[in-house]
Structure 1
């Protein structure tokens, strides 16, 4: 474990061959791709992200940041994370609530997952699979959502299909 100073942001520590973590993040548990997921938890993911899960009313708020990890900021992974968000968003549209895909330069990803829709553990495992380069869990969740609620908007507004909505 090595420590580096990044000025006002504070000291960062290299942790188990993952991107550097802030000193207060070193004690976060490493989330195993097949491990349990707790609401109210904060984890370090296998791909070097920081995952936070909170319950807010009828939704789970899931935030995944990949600050300082260029391997997680590729166009392919950005597209997969947007598809994952669409899977969750389809359930929200079906239930009458509306959430926008949150994306702050692809470094901070925020998902609204309606309780009683996609299983929380399955959703988190799909996000971890994207980090590790596997798109199959995202495809399955999106197919399951579309089978239940109909077509959802495509992440690419320039696609040949054009945007579709769930009503």
Structure 2
């Protein structure tokens, strides 16, 4: 089944009851929240596209989450939860003395930088998938663990677009 054009070159295809996907994404595997997490591209339970890139710089793993403008994934609560998840990862970077591009970019394409060896990749990805489905507790738990280790992380809205090197 194909649907109308949504601002990016179509056609779009229904995928197992999830929001429609671009034709190039229809063969991506569906990531299960409790399956092993390895670098690659996946379709998430909330209909997003998750990309886990092997670290170009050994210190960080880049994770992108693209919801293609799905309004269910852009509520204020979910945006705030994704921000807390990014701050949890950033706290480990601050603790280690590294500064990189902003740990969080809001909008259609969310970009996270996770320090290798800090938050387990599976825990971070599972927290992101939980946010998609409306469960913010894994994200809040990761942020609490980070603050216990590294002290308070910056608050939402404080230096969001810091692009320090």
Q: Same fold (TM over 0.5)?
A: yes
Across the aligned residues of Structure 1 and Structure 2, the Cα RMSD in angstroms comes to 1.5
Query: How many residue pairs get matched?
Result: 154
Return 5+ residue gaps in structure 2 as ranges. Answer: 159-165
Q: Deviations over 1:116-151 (max 9, x none)?
A: 100000000000010011111011100110111111
* Distance in 2, Cα, partners of 1:94 & 1:56: 21
Is the 2:105–2:112 contact (alpha carbons within 8 Å) kept by the matching residues of 1?
Answer: no
- Equivalence for 1:11: 11
1:107 positional shift: 1.6
* Distance in 1, Cα, partners of 2:119 & 2:69: 29
Deviating 4+ runs (over 6 angstroms)? none
1:5 positional shift: 5.0
- Equivalence for 1:118: 119
TM-score (norm 1): 0.87
1:102 corresponds to which of 97, 104, 108: 104
Is the 1:45–1:51 contact (alpha carbons within 8 Å) kept by the matching residues of 2?
Answer: yes
TM-score (norm 2): 0.88
Return 5+ residue gaps in structure 1 as ranges. Answer: 158-167
1:113 positional shift: 0.2
Is the 1:4–1:11 contact (alpha carbons within 8 Å) kept by the matching residues of 2?
Answer: yes
